Amino acid sequence: MKFLVLALGNIGPEYADTRHNIGFMIADYLAQKFDAPRFELGRHAFTTEIKSKGHTYVLVKPTTFMNLSGKAAAHWLSTLKLPVENMLVVTDDLALPFGKLRLKGQGSAGGHNGLKDIQATLGTDVYARLRFGVDANFPKGRQVDYVLDPFSADEQIDLSTRIEKAGEAVLAFGSMGLERAMNIVNVK
C-alpha cells in the first residue's frame, strides 16, 4: 500500500529550523532513518520514498510555501493516483504544547494557512493530519514571528526525541490505519 506524507514547511535556508518547518524536519528524519534517496525536485515539491513493513511512504516537502500547500497536495494525490484517505499532512500547531502530537482524520484548519489552502483546494476537511505542538508562547500580535523563529534552547533539548515520536506516528498511520493509530498517538 502507498501513502502520501505531505510535510508542511517553507523552502529556503532562512526557514530551515523554524517551528513552522516541523513537517519538513519530520520528513527529513524519516528519510534519514530509512536511508532514502535524496529528495528530488519535482512539480511543486521535493520528494523521496521510504518503505516500512510492506508500505511505501512518499515524503513530499512542498516548494509552494505554506500558504499554497493545496497545490502540492492536489498534484501529488493525482500523480500518485491515491485517494485522499491515503494522505497524511504533517504540520505545526500553536494550540498544542511543545512536542505534543495529535492525529486526526478531519476538522477545521484551526487558523493554519497551509491547512486552509489544502481544504480549499481539495474541497474537503476530511483528510488525516498529524499536528506537532509548538506551543503559543508569544506576545499578542507576534504569532508570525514566533512560528518563523527557531525552537528555543530548552525545546531543542527534547526536539529530536519528539521528532522521532512524530515519525513513529507517521508510520503507524500507514501500518495500522487512522483509527488504530489515533488510539495510540493521541493517548501518549
Is 70:117 a contact under the CB 8 Å cutoff? yes
3-state secondary structure of 114: helix
Catalytic residue (choose from 20, 44, 75, 112) = 20
Q: What is the amino acid identity at position 48?
A: T
Cα dist. 104→66, 72, 100, 167 in Å? Answer: 20, 20, 13, 15
* C-beta pairs of 32-35 under 8 Å, 24+ apart in sequence: 33/167
Active site residue 20: yes
Cell of 188: 501518549
Tell me the catalytic residues. Answer: 20
